[in-house]
Amino acid sequence: MPPSKILDGKRVAAEIRSEAAKEAARLTEDGHAPGLAVVLVGDDPASGVYVRGKETAAREAGIREQTFRFPTLTEAALLKTIDILNRDDSVDGILIQLPLPKGISTQKVLEAVDPKKDADGFHPFNTGRLVQGKPAPVPCTPAGIMEMLRREGIALQGLRAVVVGRSDIVGKPMASLLLASNCTVTIAHSKTRDLPGVCREADLLVAAIGRAGLVTGDYVKEGAIVVDVGMNRIDRAEDVARFFPGDAAREAAFRKNGSVLMGDCDPSTVPARASRYTPVPGGVGPLTIAMLLSNTVALAHARAKVRRTE
């Protein structure tokens, strides 16, 4: 893939993180150091990796980060923990690491977070404000994608956008943000009739369905912009050979680790048809943590402003 075609999520994420660090330093000088609380329940290995990445990024940005790790916890005890954090004046943002263990209601837990401390933008109050076009914390992945498109100079107004995936975390908020930017938006999913045909209508195609290599070149209109949100682990040698033919580095990584990461798009066929394209890894992934920092700093700024007027 020629470098000119790559949508550089790493570069944009570095810019966002730098901006967040500068604002965090300014707030700290004014006596309101931004604080982020991360709550991790259970022993999911991937969640542990994600949380460690968030811890490191927050510290590097000058954000006071606390992680509350619970190998096991009842729903009632988790709700009590969230209540304590809601009332803790040193905490500006709260993040509940998903998925939660079985037996704990994700909806009930997310709704327990104070909307004014909702670092992930998942609270129904903030979701409603997003749909209405009002200021609110926005889920980090779609917010990061919008920042990447803006900073890469892509004009969205009037584009036909197709979002493949309807999750509350990516698909639905992504569609709302694109609609607010004057795109004509279609949400497609696994039950969509003639999914390849629907995708081929897109000037901007966002793949966020969570299935490795589902979107092939046949799904992509010549010259479309493709944003691959997927992060899937493939562990069969035949899939590595199919999706990464002749890629010695991927083959070596597979031999070493027994698996490699790839997105929802087929990297062997999609880039040739796209005008711009996000690689996996290194495209959308870095933006998610960057926007978590940005959201936390924005929440701290809003709470500091309220404090000054009291």
Q: Which residue from 156, 123, 120, 125 is spatially nearest to 140, judged by alpha carbons? A: 120
What per-residue confidence (pLDDT) applies to 2?
58
pLDDT above 90 as % of the chain: 93
User: Which residues form the catalytic set?
Assistant: 54, 97, 120
Q: Can the peptide bond before residue 99 be classed as cis, meaning omega within 30 degrees of 0? A: yes
Q: Residues 170, 139: contact at Cβ < 8 Å?
A: yes
Q: Which residues pair with 234 in a beta bridge?
A: 260
What per-residue confidence (pLDDT) applies to 150?
97
Per-residue confidence at 243, pLDDT binned at 50, 70, 90? very high
Rounded Cα distance, 182 and 271, in Å: 26
Q: What is the mean pLDDT of residues 18-31?
A: 97
What per-residue confidence (pLDDT) applies to 308?
67
Helices 45-60 & 285-309 angle (0-180, nearest 10): 50
Q: What is the mean pLDDT of residues 64-86?
A: 97
Angle at 260 between CA 174 and CA 10, to 5 degrees: 50
- 14's CB contacts (< 8 A; 6+ apart) are 286, 290
Render pLDDT for 115-165 as a digit per residue (tens, 0 to 9). 999 999 999 999 999 999 999 999 999 999 999 999 999 999 999 999 999
Q: What is the mean pLDDT of residues 271-300?
A: 95
Question: Which range among 76-90, 198-212, 215-229, 296-310 shows the weakest confidence by mean pLDDT?
Answer: 296-310
Which CATH class, in words, describes the domain spanning 140-286? Answer: alpha beta
DSSP of 217-272: GGGS-TT-EEEE---EEE--HHHHHHHSTT-HHHHHHHHHHS-EEE-SB-TTTSTT
Render pLDDT for 216-227 as a digit per residue (tens, 0 to 9). 999 999 999 999
Domain 140-286 in the same topology as domain 31-114: yes
Rounded Cα distance, 136 and 260, in Å: 36
User: Residue ranges per domain, the chain?
Assistant: 31-114, 140-286
Phi and psi torsions of 82, nearest 5°: -65, -40
Angle at 161 between CA 157 and CA 164, to 5 degrees: 155
What per-residue confidence (pLDDT) applies to 129?
96
Burial (Cβ within 10 Å: 0-12, 13-18, ≥19) of residue 152: middle
Q: Is 96 strand, coil or helix? A: strand
Look over the chain and give the mean of its residue pLDDT values, rounded to a whole number: 95
Provide the CB-side half-sphere exposure for 124 (13 A, CA).
6
Per-residue confidence at 306, pLDDT binned at 50, 70, 90? confident
| Terminal-residue alpha carbon distance, the chain | 55
Q: Can the peptide bond before residue 281 be classed as cis, meaning omega within 30 degrees of 0? A: yes
Rounded Cα distance, 156 and 152, in Å: 11
Tell me the two tokens of residue 295. Answer: 């959201």
Per-residue confidence at 49, pLDDT binned at 50, 70, 90? confident
What per-residue confidence (pLDDT) applies to 249?
93
pLDDT of 4 > 80? The answer is no
Rounded Cα distance, 155 and 247, in Å: 33
Question: Which range among 10-24, 44-58, 96-110, 164-178 shows the weakest confidence by mean pLDDT?
Answer: 44-58
Q: What is the mean pLDDT of residues 207-215?
A: 96
What per-residue confidence (pLDDT) applies to 46?
84
pTM of the model: 0.94
What per-residue confidence (pLDDT) applies to 196?
98
* Type of residue numbered 289: I
pLDDT of 75 > 70? The answer is yes
Q: What is the mean pLDDT of residues 253-266?
A: 94
Q: Which residue from 120, 287, 199, 50 is spatially nearest to 110, judged by alpha carbons? A: 120
Rounded Cα distance, 195 and 222, in Å: 16
Fold of 31-114: Rossmann fold (3.40.50)
Rounded Cα distance, 301 and 33, in Å: 10
